[in-house]
Structure 1
């Protein structure tokens, strides 16, 4: 498993992240087997959120009940959770009270004394940066959260938080896959006659911004398209033809090549796997070690339907 540095935190971590959003209906044995296979493949980074599950914190509780991390095991992994989405609204809440309350419940549910990272899940238009800073300072001082970050945030939203938050923002988790790649492709369309405007206003330079500020990008839904997973999807025949050929040439699977396309980017991003299949984790781990050529990377980009000037 290839490892990367999270420069804003001074941490070393696996380039793949095991996402735990789909484990609510799995047995203890299935969850433990998934965790064990991921660890055997070199994954040491786990992604949670307070909203994962049919009820708040359900997946965090299921993970803790099934895996029962020993103190040694806990020290060997990085656990990340997210707050800020209120599912019975639906709305968003970055208030001091909500952040503190949800983190306390995450710690109880995960049966741990601390989170390695806490992310603000989706932007709250009513955010008061001073309240976020107050919560972050208190959680850090108490040793309950070691590092902080965001998810789905634009440059402007991050800059607003930085007017009050003193801790480095270590991570920005964004949706990114071969098919859904506006944060990578919009910049390539700059100054092109007849091109439509950005589909992610304010987000077109988020990759460059994060690279400049040492913020690690995490790619969620790395195999998704508007019509579901793009692997073996009849809506993407050209892409799957190229994925299959490159998989054969590099002796991995199409999952591995789709992963390698992401890990090839010089931003040194992490790939968040939402699968509950241990074999899929192993395929992605093998692919993360493949170094695609520039020609192969752009061939996949075009095969996924992205136009280049």
Structure 2
């Protein structure tokens, strides 16, 4: 498994990480198999969030991790917080809370559910319009001093939001988790369409990918096999015949699955992006993980980009 640096540190993580959002649907024994399979193929990075399965995913992870043959040193474990869920409203309302108290309590709950003593990294899940950098800094300092969190980052933040938060922190933000895939190419489309007036020339993210490269932040690509805002899987989807044909052609040539080629497409970008796969199926984990060791040529990369419905000036 190819390895990448996490931010500007000496921490090395697998190019493909395992996201456990769907682990709440597994039995403990099934989760053990999922985790051990991930480890066997070289994945050493777990991504979670306190809202996954309303906390159930982390509970299943904790039980499975304890039951498995794995040790704490086998995984770099990451979680996210800041999305506020109200069980009294049946979790139907999404709000945010970046207060010091909320962040501290959330991490304690995460550690308890996962059955671990510390997180390797904690990310703020989505921007909070009311975020106060000083209050977040106090929470981060307290968590780091207590040995509960080693590193910090964000998810779905634009560059100015990162700058606003970073200026108040004593820790360097190492990670920004963003949606990016063959069928979600906004972070690069506007660059290709520079000095044009078409829809793809619009920068919706304020150059977040280039900003991350300049500031040595690791970009983690979530939903690498999804289209839209998690509307569904584009792999094998009859709605997208052209891109599936292009992926299948390379899959035959490389002796891999279409999922592996889609992952390799993301990894081909020079930003050294880390891909977060969310499958809980051991066979699919094995298939997708092969993407870390597939090297696409520039023209193969553009073949897929164009087959996904994009155009070039």
Q: Distance in 2 between matches of 1:80 and 1:195?
A: 36
SS of aligned partner of 2:52: coil
**1:247 matched to which residue of 2?**
251
**Structure 2 unaligned blocks of 5 or more:** 87-92
Q: Is the CA contact (8 Å cut-off) linking 2:80 and 2:124 kept in structure 1? A: yes
**1:174 matched to which residue of 2?**
178
**Structure 1 unaligned blocks of 5 or more:** none
SS of aligned partner of 1:143: coil
Mapping of 1:105-254 within 5 angstroms? 105-195=109-199, 198=202, 200=204, 203-226=205-228, 227-254=231-258
Deviates more, 1:185-194 or 1:16-25: 185-194
Q: Is the CA contact (8 Å cut-off) linking 1:259 and 1:271 kept in structure 2? A: yes
Mapping of 1:272-283 within 5 angstroms? 272-283=276-287
Q: Distance in 1 between matches of 2:198 and 2:221?
A: 29
Deviates more, 1:188-197 or 1:299-308: 188-197
Displacement of 1:199 in angstroms is 6.0
**Larger helix proportion, structure 1 or 2?**
2
**1:40 matched to which residue of 2?**
40
Q: Is the CA contact (8 Å cut-off) linking 1:182 and 1:204 kept in structure 2? A: no
- Pick aligned residue for 1:302 from 286, 289, 306: 306
Residues 127-149 of structure 1: CA distance to partner in whole angstroms, max 9, x if unpaired? 00000100001100111100000
Q: Is the CA contact (8 Å cut-off) linking 1:48 and 1:80 kept in structure 2? A: yes
Residues 144-168 of structure 1: CA distance to partner in whole angstroms, max 9, x if unpaired? 1000000000001000001201201
**1:86 matched to which residue of 2?**
84
Deviates more, 1:98-107 or 1:221-230: 221-230
- Asked if 1:5 corresponds to 2:5, the answer is yes
Displacement of 1:23 in angstroms is 1.2
Q: Is the CA contact (8 Å cut-off) linking 1:6 and 1:12 kept in structure 2? A: yes
Q: Distance in 2 between matches of 1:64 and 1:206?
A: 34
Q: Is the CA contact (8 Å cut-off) linking 1:210 and 1:216 kept in structure 2? A: yes
Mapping of 1:47-66 within 5 angstroms? 47-53=47-53, 55=54, 57-66=55-64
**1:67 matched to which residue of 2?**
65
Q: Distance in 2 between matches of 1:28 and 1:36?
A: 12
Q: Is the CA contact (8 Å cut-off) linking 1:187 and 1:204 kept in structure 2? A: no
Q: Distance in 2 between matches of 1:113 and 1:50?
A: 16
- Pick aligned residue for 2:267 from 260, 263, 266: 263
Q: Is the CA contact (8 Å cut-off) linking 1:117 and 1:149 kept in structure 2? A: yes
SS of aligned partner of 2:269: coil
RMSD: 1.5
Q: Is the CA contact (8 Å cut-off) linking 1:17 and 1:47 kept in structure 2? A: yes
Q: TM-score scaled by structure 1?
A: 0.95
Residues 159-194 of structure 1: CA distance to partner in whole angstroms, max 9, x if unpaired? 000120120111100011100110121211110144
- Asked if 1:17 corresponds to 2:17, the answer is yes
Q: Distance in 1 between matches of 2:189 and 2:200?
A: 12
Distance 1:304 1:215, change over 3 A: same
Q: Is the CA contact (8 Å cut-off) linking 1:216 and 1:268 kept in structure 2? A: yes
